[in-house]
Amino acid sequence: MSHATGMVRFPDDHVFYYEYNGTSDCVCTALFQTANELSAAWRTDSAFADCQCGREPDAVDVMTFYGDGSSWRGMACKGCKAIISPTSWDDWCEKAVNGIPDWTNAQAPAPVEGSDLLKGGQA
């Protein structure tokens, strides 16, 4: 089973992290402010969240380090810390751009000791 780190960039350039499930080609919907928070939730039910605030979600940039990396446009709620859409490869594959986008360079997480969270890799 392959999981990798993903990142979401909001319009204000605030970046959150999430877990990408490469086995199912889907995002785990919970957003975390730091790589350490993501590591603590890695492969647990805490990696999933729903938006329940009723506010309009933000249009965001979503990416994953899975494989050679890819990115696409999506929707997320910063207040609820949740990715809303798209959440499965079938929904974004035609719009995805291969490779790791430049905006991730300064924000990419370092490996977290004792975790299978890897920068740019799969675990």
Q: How many CB atoms lie within 10 A of CB 54?
A: 7
Nearest to 18 by CA among 36, 9, 4, 31: 31
Q: Which pLDDT does position 121 carry in this prediction?
A: 43
pTM of this structure: 0.84
What does pLDDT average to in each consecutive run of 10 residues of the chain (123 residues)?
A: 87 94 91 92 93 94 90 96 91 86 72 45 43
Q: From residue 49, give the alpha-carbon distance in Å to each of 84, 91, 97, 107, 114.
A: 9, 19, 25, 22, 24
Contacts (Cβ under 8 Å, ≥6 apart) of 118 = 4, 5, 65, 111
Q: Which pLDDT does position 105 carry in this prediction?
A: 76
